Amino acid sequence: MESQELKIVKVRPEDNHTLLEIGRQTFYDAFGSPHNTEENIHYYLSQKFTLEKITNEILNPESQFFFALYKDKIVGYLKLNSGSAQTEFIKGNSIEIERIYVINIYQGKGIGKYLLDNVIRIAKEKTVAFIWLGVWEKNKSAINFYQQNGFKIFDKHRFMLGSDKQTDIMMRLDF
Ligand SMILES: CC(C)(COP(=O)(O)OP(=O)(O)OC[C@H]1O[C@@H](n2cnc3c(N)ncnc32)[C@H](O)[C@@H]1OP(=O)(O)O)[C@@H](O)C(=O)NCCC(=O)NCCS
């Protein structure tokens, strides 16, 4: 993959339908059957991935969404939260990666790393002290990916996927 053909662009409010589609698709591909029941996945998608919710999230000044483009095609996306948009309160000046997703067939080609490098650049511009995220304990490949990129485990939290009580591993990268 030629890195000069990779780009990151900010998601605009008028991109809401596209973002919803890629958000639903990548979530389903990552966490659908056999990892979770259809019922729990559909419930979660119907609660979290609605056009209204996604549009409001794009409009929130403390959240930022980005698309990763390869040869001008969307191959992944990223959601960052700062200030009160962060999904947990963690002491210190931080930024949260709430979502980082690469479309299945483009995984393992450096796009996730490219998105992460951009998060680090943005975090440094905002002069935050650390980046943090929550990842499902069973999502070993993502945990590996974060560890290889310097993130350290610092906590665990409960996460509900429909009726299933799951554990999220909290990880952070300090500067
Ligand atoms: C986790 C995720 C974002 C990582 O993105 P990615 O694009 O697959 O990651 P990268 O390609 O940058 O790196 C992954 C691996 O590919 C390798 N790689 C990177 N560039 C490569 C290239 N050009 N050729 C071959 N392998 C390469 C990396 O070394 C890395 O391997 P390692 O883990 O053994 O070190 C992505 O796999 C994903 O979307 N997964 C499903 C959704 C998900 O779990 N999201 C996170 C929720 S918390």
Give the CATH number, domain containing residue 86. 3.40.630.30
Of 111, 106, 97, 26, which Cα lies nearest the Cα of 68? 111
On whether residue 136 sits in a domain, the answer given is: no
On whether residue 147 sits in a domain, the answer given is: no
Mean pLDDT of 136-163: 94
6 lines ligand 1 (CB under 6 A): no
Which domain range does residue 45 map to?
A: 3-129
Please state the φ and ψ torsions of residue 72, each to the nearest 5 degrees.
Answer: 70, 10
On whether residue 163 sits in a domain, the answer given is: no
Q: How confident is the model at residue 150 (pLDDT cuts 50, 70, 90)?
A: very high
Cα of 111 vs its chain's centroid, Å: 13
Q: Given ligand 1 and candidates 48, 101, 107, 140, which is best to mutate, with the most ligand atoms within 8 Å of its CB?
A: 107
Of 46, 42, 75, 55, which Cα lies nearest the Cα of 15? 55
What per-residue confidence (pLDDT) applies to 159? 87
pLDDT tens, position by position, 84-115: 999 999 999 999 999 999 999 999 999 999 99
**What span, in angstroms and rounded, lies between the C-alpha atoms of 167 and 109?**
28
Please, are residues 92 and 130 in contact by the beta-carbon 8 Å criterion? yes
Q: List the catalytic residues.
A: 146
Across 63-67, 84-88, 149-153, 157-161, least confident range: 157-161
How many domains is the chain built from?
1
On whether residue 32 sits in a domain, the answer given is: yes
25-37 residues labelled b (16+ CB within 10 A) or e (exposed): ebbbebbeeeebe
**What span, in angstroms and rounded, lies between the C-alpha atoms of 6 and 78?**
14
> If you average pLDDT over every residue of the chain, what do you get?
95
Burial label, 92 (beta-carbon count in 10 A; 0-12, 13-18, 19+)? exposed
156 phi-psi bin (left φ>0, alpha ψ -120 to 50, beta other): beta
Nearest residue (CA) to ligand 1, atom 6: 112
What per-residue confidence (pLDDT) applies to 76? 98
On whether residue 167 sits in a domain, the answer given is: no
On whether residue 25 sits in a domain, the answer given is: yes
On whether residue 159 sits in a domain, the answer given is: no
**What span, in angstroms and rounded, lies between the C-alpha atoms of 102 and 111?**
7
135 lines ligand 1 (CB under 6 A): yes
On whether residue 85 sits in a domain, the answer given is: yes
The number of residues making up the chain comes to 175
